[in-house]
Amino acid sequence: MYAIEVDNLTKIYGKGETAVTALQDATFKVKPGELVAILGPSGSGKTTLLTCIGLINEPTYGRVVIDGTIVADGGWHSSIDLKRMRREKLGFIFQAHNLIPFLTAQENVMVALEINGLTRNDAKRRSIELLNALNLGHRINNFPSALSGGESQRVAIARALANRPRVILADEPTAALDTENGKNVMDLLKKLAVENNSAIMVVTHDHRMVENFDRILEVSDGRIVGEQSIVDIN
């Protein structure tokens, strides 16, 4: 079973003469354990594609299947609880981290677990496990203001992985990082894709990180204009 299946996915903003097609006829599949880049210039439709897959932006046309469940088919599928699907199947990593400033690193991870129904004690155990795995055990009681950019991004990754999602979606996760920290984040995502058997899609224009991916989808003017395997490139 594929973790992500997208068929003729289209997103149009507005109507009539003011209509803008941000994404048109995107079609692809992503396997569990696969790390896929969405590469293209600013305004090409990368983030629109990611937010449609992530159940944030409702598609105008086309089909989206997450972990075998049809979530969109010409708009959201009527039988789907989108909030529950996001909590249970999806993990999000954003460029700006979006950590809650008045919560510690551990509490930022715990909140995702408690929202999903874990008890406080179980959430504490899981958050410590994740932060230790990301070499942040010494930072669990630090607030975001005391963390470096790379550390904040790793906390955001821990939060995204908290509920063991089948799909992880990252929007420019290395854009604000230097080359070393950016590479560390991408190495970590690649490792987690394999270990957790998660499908990971990363929006980026950072060509420094291309070698970390299994496959690249090239997007231009709202269309997927190319698809390459890193094995083929190398």
Q: 66-86, pLDDT tens digit by residue?
A: 999 999 999 999 888 998 899
Per-residue pLDDT, 21: 94
> Structural domain tally of the chain?
1
The CATH number given to whatever domain includes residue 136 is 3.40.50.300
Token reading at 191:
């490792």
Rounded mean pLDDT, 43-61: 93
Whether 216 and 37 have beta carbons less than 8 Å apart is answered as yes
152 contacts 174 by C-beta, under 8 angstroms: no
pLDDT, residue 232, reads 56
Residue 202 zone, left/alpha/beta (φ > 0; ψ -120 to 50; rest): beta
Q: Name, in order, each residue with C-beta under 8 angstroms of 195's C-beta and a sequence gap of 6 or more.
A: none
Q: Which backbone phi and psi does 32 adopt, to 5 degrees? A: -60, 140
Domain extent for 145: 4-233
Q: Residues 30, 210, 26, CA angle at the centre, nearest 5°?
A: 40
